[in-house]
Amino acid sequence: MEILKIHNNPERAEWAALTERFTREEEEITRQVTEILADVKSGGDRSLREVTRRVEGRDPRTFEIPADVRAAAAALIPAALKEALAAAKANIETFHRAQLPPEVDIETMPGVRCVQRAVPIRRVGLYIPGGKAPLFSTVLMLAVPARVAGCGEVILCTPARPDGTIAPEILYAADLCGVDRIFSVGGAQAVAAMAYGTESIPRVDKIFGPGNRYVTKAKQLVGANDVAVDLPAGPSEVLVLADDEASPAFAAADLLSQAEHGGDSQAVLVCPSVEFARDTQRAVGEQLLQLRRGETIREALRQSRIVVLDSREKMIGFANAYAPEHLIISMRDAWDVAAQITAAGSVFIGPWSPESAGDYASGTNHTLPTGGWARAYSGVNTDSFLRKITYQELSRKGLATLSPTVIAMAEAEGLGAHAAAVRVRMKGGVL
């Protein structure tokens, strides 16, 4: 198999096909997820157990992780990892606390006061992938901003390991970040439980977290009618912009680190020459031999690619057309390039900024829009856990000044009662 097919200077008409994501079996996934959602919505815990037996092959008596099991996890975590988690948490908290919005309080005209205040979401549900690679880093990325925002209750759902237990790293990270309740359930059925509520798992006001295509589809479906969701965060992806001064070894490492997330991940290199493309191909092949998740990486690389474009303008244009979850810019004047990027989840500037830094500990959030949704969505941030409520207070003088404007607009729209609500005040209670 050729590792990472090279597309040499494709015409712009070909870009649409080269920016497509993995969509295999989409109809079947939708059918299965719709069935799971309906089962859990109607049957609660009973259906949740049945789906867990069918999907995970285990028969849980209870879903909530008790306090003693959570507390015991700390003893299983090496000191070095505890230190790493504490450092990462501190950086994430620093960056997300800086995002807290100030209150807006202004008179738009004399006697007309308008206020905007940020109010935390009452109860949020976090989905943490925990199958082959339990992503305890995602606990930090979601629970820390939830607590910074001041959410009243934070619950967490994560799939069990084959032996029915939860990875101690996830339990420890959850306690470190102040998660209130943890439930051992994963997949689309976890999304259903948080969206509709069961006897054991409370219904939440908003669901956060990445997942596989089943989890993503479940979030899309419940988000249409039942509960707020953060963003479309499905199979992970990276696009690397590299010029001929970049390191092919660095570019290869970035592509491989993305590909190991899962077989449905996608890694794309955009570079200006076939020579750099081939050097990166070779580096990918050499580094792949040293990695443990080789089979998963090879599967992801089958749907990944290298695109050679002969101008800086075209390279930037392709990156914006792709709208990547992660964008690495390893080019001359990288910040100038970044200023021209209009669609990306998170951008990594220069040769010393691997995606791994943002995935774990630089302070930015790694829960990001995928599948081209970076054209319209931001990654998770402190605002994601807040609602903005506006307030207004008018004095009698303020309403008197504003009343001609309101009455004229209301009558032009044919809404006489709106106009009357102003007139009755101005006339002392009579129309």
Torsion angles phi and psi, residue 137, rounded to 5: -65, -30
| pLDDT value of position 55 | 87
Instruction: Kindly report the pTM of this predicted structure.
Output: 0.94
Averaged pLDDT, 24-34 = 88
Any idea what DSSP says for residue 205?
A: S
Q: Which entry of 56, 260, 326, 355 is annotated as an active-site residue?
A: 326
Confirm whether residue 366 is marked as ligand binding: no
pLDDT at 2 over 90: no
β partners of residue 346: 326
Confirm whether residue 7 is marked as ligand binding: no
| pLDDT value of position 24 | 65
pLDDT at 1 over 60: no
8 Å CB contact between 207 and 189: no
Active site (annotated) includes residue 326: yes
Q: Where are the alpha helices (DSSP H) in 334-415?
A: 334-338, 355-360, 396-412
Task: Give per-residue pLDDT as tens, 169-222.
Answer: 999 999 999 999 999 999 999 999 999 999 999 999 999 998 888 998 999 999
- With cut-offs at 50, 70 and 90, classify the pLDDT of residue 431: confident
Q: Which entry of 325, 366, 393, 411 is annotated as an active-site residue?
A: 325
Confirm whether residue 265 is marked as ligand binding: no
Distance CA 336, CA 358 (A): 21
Distance CA 162, CA 359 (A): 26
8 Å CB contact between 331 and 241: yes
For the chain, the average pLDDT equals 95
Confirm whether residue 346 is marked as ligand binding: no
Active site (annotated) includes residue 7: no
Could you tell me the domains of the chain? Answer: 26-103+119-230 (3.40.50.1980), 235-378 (3.40.50.1980), 395-426 (no CATH)
Distance CA 331, CA 350 (A): 7
Closest by Cα among 276, 268, 238 to 356: 238
- With cut-offs at 50, 70 and 90, classify the pLDDT of residue 428: confident
| pLDDT value of position 179 | 98
| Tokens encoding 101 | 């919005």
Confirm whether residue 8 is marked as ligand binding: no
Closest by Cα among 277, 233, 218 to 251: 277
Q: Strand runs (DSSP E) across 61-198, as ranges?
A: 104-109, 112-120, 123-127, 153-158, 181-184
- With cut-offs at 50, 70 and 90, classify the pLDDT of residue 430: confident
pLDDT at 151 over 60: yes
Distance CA 395, CA 393 (A): 7
pLDDT at 39 over 90: yes
| Tokens encoding 153 | 């209750």
Residues sharing a CB contact under 8 Å with residue 201, sequence separation 6 or more, in sequence order: 48, 63, 64, 155, 157, 183, 185, 193, 194
8 Å CB contact between 231 and 377: yes
Confirm whether residue 418 is marked as ligand binding: yes
Residues sharing a CB contact under 8 Å with residue 389, sequence separation 6 or more, in sequence order: 116, 117, 119
Averaged pLDDT, 223-250 = 93
Residues sharing a CB contact under 8 Å with residue 76, sequence separation 6 or more, in sequence order: 168, 172
CA 13, distance to chain mean position in Å, is 30
Confirm whether residue 96 is marked as ligand binding: no
| pLDDT value of position 131 | 66
